[in-house]
Amino acid sequence: MQKSILILGACGQIGTELTIELRNKFGSDNIVASDIREGSESLMQSGPFELLDATNYEAIEDVVMHYEIDEVYLMAAMLSATAEKFPMRAWNLNMNSLFNVLNLAKEKKISKVFWPSSIAVFGPNTPKENTGQSTIMEPSTVYGISKQAGERWCEYYFKKFDVDVRSVRYPGLISWKTMPGGGTTDYAVEIYHQALEKGLYECFLSEETKLPMMYMEDAIKATINLMESPAENLTIRSSYNLGSMSFSPKEITQSIQKHIPNFKATYVPDFRQQIADSWPSSVDDSDARKDWNWKPNFDLNSTTAEMLDNLKGI
């Protein structure tokens, strides 16, 4: 079946690769990329592109009507570290953009929504290892509070208004095509760039801080698989835990040293340490595995090999 998809926040770390993959899968003309700013030439020229503010309901509605959009992937958000600096801007962006797409679906102007949640929904009182789907949450960051509230609203719109909304709690995402911006897990991308450029990296988290992480190819696969799964298989309409690997800055350093033996990392924790300390070390994603056959392909060492290989070629 042919369908049209709109991606909000298409120029960001996830949006860029999601746009490429959806264009490969469903045909470039059917995938409308949009962002508040312009992105890479290849993204803007490989299919339709619109400058669009995800907090502007009327503007999104115009694009949805113009392209006869069926599904919206809302990838625009302010991440954890930046959100601590601009709490109200983060809250307004993260919540208003979500209400905009949920309300478009409630009005039956679109038929399906993808919205990303995060491991940030968990907090300091959450059990750290193999963190369950439903457990103590109590997020302590602005970003986490917005993601937790968003999850509640997604489930509410599903139950009350029959909105087909789907979501995963992304861990830290590692990619080479587009840099992340403003997150606490960004060190796990920066470290590869600095290892190749300088052979040295000053990490803003302590060496033992273990967090759940995932290679972007797995994250994109999970996102599209969830969206393509039959609705009747899905038992969770807040957001699915999604796991792959967990490692600390020390472990990623050791993995890089297998390729670049002289690489050195130093550790100078800043305000992001407290955010990282409030998040789980690993998550239990058995619901995603059971409901829609989730299974990651990449571990730390295969991620390192891919990252270094691809970054060398740029």
Q: Which of 67, 73, 143, 157 is catalytic?
A: 143
Among 52-60, 96-104, 177-185, 246-254, which window interacts with ligand AKB (CB under 6 A)? 177-185
Draw the binding track, 242-281, toward ligand AKB (x: CB under 6 A; -: no contact).
Answer: ----------------------------------------
User: For ligand AKB, which residue has the nearest CB?
Assistant: 183
Draw the binding track, 123-152, toward ligand AKB (x: CB under 6 A; -: no contact).
Answer: --------------------x---------
Instruction: Please say whether the beta carbons of 137 and 209 come within 8 A.
Output: no
Binding residue for ligand AKB, selected from 12, 15, 172, 243, defined by CB under 6 A? 172
**Contact flag: residue 11 with ligand AKB (CB under 6 A):** no
Number of neighbouring beta carbons within 10 Å of residue 249: 25
Binding residue for ligand AKB, selected from 31, 60, 79, 242, defined by CB under 6 A? 79
Number of neighbouring beta carbons within 10 Å of residue 232: 6
Q: Which is nearer to ligand AKB, 80 or 303 (CB)?
A: 80
- Neighbour-count burial of 130, counting CB atoms closer than 10 A to its CB (0-12 exposed, 13-18 middle, 19+ buried): middle
3-state secondary structure of 3: coil
* Structure-block tokens of residue 206: 């302590």
* φ, ψ of residue 172 in degrees (nearest 5): -65, 135
Q: Which is nearer to ligand AKB, 4 or 185 (CB)?
A: 185
Query: Of residues 178-197, which lie at the interface with ligand AKB (CB under 6 A)?
Result: 183-185
Instruction: Please say whether the beta carbons of 50 and 63 come within 8 A.
Output: yes
Give min distance, CB of 172 to ligand AKB, in A: 5
Q: Distance between CA atoms of 66 and 73, rounded to whole angstroms?
A: 17
Q: Distance between CA atoms of 198 and 262, rounded to whole angstroms?
A: 10
Binding residue for ligand AKB, selected from 120, 121, 226, 236, defined by CB under 6 A? 120
67 tagged catalytic: no
Which residue, 63, 72, 57, is CA-closest to 113?
72
How many binding residues for ligand AKB (CB under 6 A)?
11
36-41 contacts, C-beta under 8 A, 24 or more apart = 36/76, 37/11, 38/11, 39/10, 39/11, 40/11, 40/16, 40/178
Among 4-12, 118-126, 255-263, 288-296, which window interacts with ligand AKB (CB under 6 A)? 118-126
Q: Which is nearer to ligand AKB, 19 or 118 (CB)?
A: 118
Active site residues: 143
* Residues making contact with ligand AKB (CB under 6 A): 79-80, 118-120, 143, 170, 172, 183-185
